[in-house]
Amino acid sequence: MIIIEDGRPVAGIKEDKMAKMQTVTLNLRGRACPGPVIETRKALSGLKNDAILSVELDNQAACSNVSRFAESQGCTVTATNDGDDRFTLTITRSPANDVAPAAEFKPRPEPVTGNYAIYIDKKTMGGGDEKLGRILMKAFLQTLPELTNLPRNIIFLNQGVFLTASNSPELGTIKALAAAGTTILVCGTCLDFYNLKDNLGVGRVSNMFEIASILTGPDKVIRI
């Protein structure tokens, strides 16, 4: 990442070259993790080599996360702090050398389902504060559809079934996973216990035999 000092870059892309490039602005202030990285990835996938992506952010953590991602994609990143927790990242494609043109950006490949299952038995992620746990669970589920190696199955049981209800804030994300090929399995006994069977918004009702078969099968199981 290149830092701007006194309004001028310490190092980086030549100013005359940057002046000729079209700038695409992405305002991500107010977006929670993982939104800034996800939206930047989407913007980069459609960005031409002769364009600049200007990303506006409102916290240092997002600034660092987006910078690392862009640099991992072969881009050059210039950061400015505009004060009052206002940051701007200027992202450009990095040429291989001074004469070779920048390589075409390759968007991520289409996601495929991998040989693993995710087991979710609560509405929160991790221990500690429940509000923070809900935030982390939402961020985790939002990130999954952006991966190239999706889970083959996601199993929801006990309080985890609330995430699959029709009024769940996470419903859209889980539907996106199902549309991408992940099988969503929801414990029928748990739905009955919480009176949610008529409120199921995504996935299919499963049973303990099927769940136990997956948990003891050859696929790796990740418990959240």
For residues 71 and 166, state if they share a domain.
no
> What are phi and psi for residue 204, nearest 5 degrees?
-125, 150
For residues 122 and 164, state if they share a domain.
yes
- Assess if residue 98 is contained within a domain: no
Tokens at residue 198, please?
């008529």
Q: What is the pLDDT at residue 104?
A: 47
Average pLDDT of each block of 10 consecutive residues along the chain (224 residues)? 41 48 85 85 78 88 86 87 86 57 49 86 92 93 88 96 96 92 95 95 94 94 93
For residues 50 and 151, state if they share a domain.
no
CATH number at residue 166: 3.40.1260.10
For residues 89 and 143, state if they share a domain.
no
Cα–Cα dist 4/36, whole Å: 21
Q: What is the pLDDT at residue 109?
A: 57
Task: Pick the last residue of a domain from 63, 93, 123.
Answer: 93
For residues 82 and 118, state if they share a domain.
no
For residues 23 and 117, state if they share a domain.
no
Domain count, the chain: 2
pTM for this prediction? 0.64
- Assess if residue 166 is contained within a domain: yes
Task: Pick the last residue of a domain from 35, 62, 93.
Answer: 93
For residues 184 and 146, state if they share a domain.
yes
Give the domain extent around 79: 2-93
For residues 125 and 66, state if they share a domain.
no
**Are the C-beta atoms of 42 and 15 separated by less than 8 Å?**
no
CA distances 101 to 2, 84, 95, 105, 108, Å, are 21, 37, 6, 12, 21
For residues 118 and 209, state if they share a domain.
yes
Q: What is the pLDDT at residue 18?
A: 52
Q: Which of 31, 92, 21 is nearest to 56 (CA)?
A: 31
- Assess if residue 211 is contained within a domain: yes
- Assess if residue 99 is contained within a domain: no
- Assess if residue 107 is contained within a domain: no
Q: What is the pLDDT at residue 108?
A: 53
CATH number at residue 51: 3.30.110.40
